[in-house]
């Protein structure tokens, strides 16, 4: 199942490779939970002297309540990976709760 991914880059244009990378990672989440309705990804560059200035926010719209992760790293790829990992754990917990009901 393919997840509808909306990518919004704030104050810059994300390159094609990054967009494809994000689509690929977010779509992998449907392996863990197949009822994902939609997803929104926001890419930001924080204006600091720190090298960890790339911020990725991913929101998954799922039945019940939405899953959300925000990560800040050196690169958008690294931030995407850590955010997707956090969402994977959230989806697993969500699935376990549904099984108990």
Q: With H, G, I as helix, E, B as strand and everything else as coil, classify residue 26.
A: helix
For 80-93, the pLDDT digits (tens) are 999 999 999 999 99
DSSP secondary structure of 43-97: EEE--SSSS--EEEEEEEE-SSS-EEEEEEESSHHHHHHHHHHHHHHHHHHHHHH
Q: Is the CB of residue 36 less than 8 Å from the CB of residue 98?
A: no
Alpha-carbon distance of 26 to 45, in angstroms, equals 20
Alpha-carbon distance of 101 to 60, in angstroms, equals 22
What domains can you pick out in the chain, each with its CATH number? 5-100 (3.30.160.100)
pTM here?
0.93
For 38-81, the pLDDT digits (tens) are 999 999 999 888 889 999 999 999 998 899 999 999 999 999 99
């Amino acid at each position: 199942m393919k997840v509808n991914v909306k990518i919004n880059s704030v104050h810059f244009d994300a390159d094609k490779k990054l967009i494809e990378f994000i689509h690929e990672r977010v779509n992998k989440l449907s392996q863990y939970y197949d009822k994902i309705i939609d997803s929104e990804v926001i890419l930001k560059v924080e204006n600091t002297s720190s090298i960890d200035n790339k911020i990725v926010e991913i929101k998954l719209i799922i039945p019940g309540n939405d899953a959300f992760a925000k990560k800040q790293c050196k690169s958008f790829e690294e931030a995407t990976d850590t955010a997707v990992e956090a969402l994977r754990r959230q989806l697993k917990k969500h699935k376990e709760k549904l099984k108990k009901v």
